[in-house]
Amino acid sequence: MNTTQYLEANNQRFLDELLDLLRIPSVSADSARNEDTFRCAEAVKSALLAAGCTHAEICKTKGHPIVYAERMVDPKLPTVLTYGHYDVQPPDPLDLWTSGPFDPVVRDGKIYARGACDDKGQVMMHVKALECMVQTQSLPCNVKFMIEGEEEVGSSNLGKFLKANKDKLKADIVLVSDTSMISMEHPSIETGLRGLAYMEVELTGPNRDLHSGVYGGAVANPITILAKMIASLHDKQNRVKVRGFYRDVVDLSPAERKALNDAPFDEAAYKKDLDVDALWGEEGYTTLERTGVRPTLELNGIWGGYTGEGAKTVLPSKAYAKISMRLVPNQDSRKIARQFTKHFERLAPPGVRVKVTELHGGEPVVTPTDGKAYQAAAKAIETTFGKKPIPTRGGGSIPIVALFEKVLGLKTVLMGFGLDSDNIHSPNEHYGLLNYYKGIETIPHFYKNYAANH
């Protein structure tokens, strides 16, 4: 029996085991759920042992624990370190979910639950792929697993864990499935991830909330001033107007641009899916470039004053916003955070005070397509999908990928099987059954190819 046949014989159980994992509300941002999050770590540990790891442990951190597991076959074989996360995004707003976020159902060939795609569905593909290889005596590499519980809240304890466990985590390559493909018809591999600098700003006008009749017109309103400052962050061509922002950006070569834009992109379908009349972005770039290879600045949240029901005539003391910037090579997140802070502080007129805080950051990464790991993944996908994958540049950030290179000296191959339409971070997140099974089918081919080329 080969791994694909084993998968076919066990696919119902593979689904049931994923649904079990999805039922655990491992919301890392919610301290009220800490017990559930810990329970999820234990479930992942059990799953890894059941799949064939010879050793598995829960590694404590200052926050949620990291699950480490391994199956060493032969020191002469290459070692693949798989990273994933068992924590999930908060499910709110709850009223927009069709079925409960932690009550997984399969509907129209998709598994609906918080974490179905990001990242439990994708983690389980690797766990089940290991079981397939072990049960068919075809595991050609040493395997190590590092599944953390804080990716959705910034992985603040991961760096320390990596630094303290360099020997334990020794490997040849890191494998991550936390990204998406263009579609099942057009499989792709993410060769680049944008970096991230996430800032929070607070503006203070008067020292207390005021009656907007008595004081309106006499003092600067921090909401109005914040709006003006935010409005000035993009120019008429929708370029980011933070001094120095584009200085370190390395543009794509004409050939790279062409390759990127050759990927299929249906603008009409994209607009229809989002129900917008028009797209918006940096002039002179396509949508794929705007989300993949151009740095951006985005407003993630804004609040100030009275936001409840009805009318309250207040001139508020404070206004706030959460602003994040996506970065591309060779922008540096600490430098960008400093540039933003300086720029934003300078923007503030007299009459308001500004406070800028950096919440978290991460560097952009690019994986070269001529590397051994990329080639192994590309060949695996060609085998199971019947066509070569398109190399894409992802809009999202996985800051720890840069960390793996910096601390462990390891490159990462991003072989994800999700789809952009999976609604990760939103209500009704889902993951295609076909995507789940295709991942379990493809991963053993990666291992085979990688071992063969090593």
The CA distances from residue 13 to 8, 10, 20, 39, 134, in Å, are 10, 6, 10, 21, 16
User: Measured from the CB atom, is 276 or 452 closer to its own copies?
Assistant: 276
165 DSSP 8-state letter: T
User: Measured from the CB atom, is 255 or 280 closer to its own copies?
Assistant: 280
User: Measured from the CB atom, is 138 or 238 closer to its own copies?
Assistant: 238
Taking the CB of residue 253, how many other CB atoms lie within 10 A of it? Answer: 9
Work out how close the CB of 418 gets to its own copies at its nearest, in angstroms, rounded to a whole number.
Answer: 10
CA angle at 247 for the pair 245 and 250, rounded to the nearest 5°: 115
C-beta separation of 128 from 51 below 8 A: yes
Q: Is residue 87 among the annotated active site residues?
A: yes
Work out how close the CB of 212 gets to its own copies at its nearest, in angstroms, rounded to a whole number.
Answer: 5
Burial class (CB in 10 A: 0-12, 13-18, 19+), 91: buried
Burial class (CB in 10 A: 0-12, 13-18, 19+), 116: buried
Q: What are residue 68's DSSP bridge partners?
A: 57, 146
Q: Is residue 277 among the annotated active site residues?
A: no
- Tokens 């800032």 — which residue? 199
Work out how close the CB of 288 gets to its own copies at its nearest, in angstroms, rounded to a whole number.
Answer: 9
Q: Which among 17, 119, 131, 151 is annotated as catalytic? A: 151
Cβ-Cβ contacts under 8 Å for 236 (sequence gap 6 or more): none
Sign (positive or negative) of CA dihedral 71, 367, 287, 93: positive
Q: What are residue 431's DSSP bridge partners?
A: 111
- CA dist 377 and 383 (Å) reads 10
User: Measured from the CB atom, is 129 or 197 closer to its own copies?
Assistant: 197
Work out how close the CB of 168 gets to its own copies at its nearest, in angstroms, rounded to a whole number.
Answer: 29
175 DSSP 8-state letter: E
User: Measured from the CB atom, is 128 or 343 closer to its own copies?
Assistant: 343
Q: Which among 87, 118, 148, 363 is annotated as catalytic? A: 87
- CA dist 422 and 430 (Å) reads 5
Work out how close the CB of 1 gets to its own copies at its nearest, in angstroms, rounded to a whole number.
Answer: 38
User: Measured from the CB atom, is 183 or 423 closer to its own copies?
Assistant: 423
User: Helical H runs in 52-87?
Assistant: none
Return the closest-CA partner of residue 203 out of 232, 225, 219. 225
Work out how close the CB of 259 gets to its own copies at its nearest, in angstroms, rounded to a whole number.
Answer: 19
Work out how close the CB of 264 gets to its own copies at its nearest, in angstroms, rounded to a whole number.
Answer: 16
Strand arrangement of the beta sheet that strand 353-362 belongs to = 318-327, 195-204, 353-362
User: Measured from the CB atom, is 172 or 248 closer to its own copies?
Assistant: 248
Work out how close the CB of 188 gets to its own copies at its nearest, in angstroms, rounded to a whole number.
Answer: 13
User: Measured from the CB atom, is 284 or 409 closer to its own copies?
Assistant: 284
DSSP codes, 324-356: EEEE-TT--HHHHHHHHHHHHHHHPPTT-EEEE
- Tokens 């720890």 — which residue? 400
Take residue 125 and report the two structure tokens written for it: 């593909």
Helices 433-453 and 120-135 pack at an angle, to 10 degrees, of 50
The residues assigned a catalytic role are 87, 151
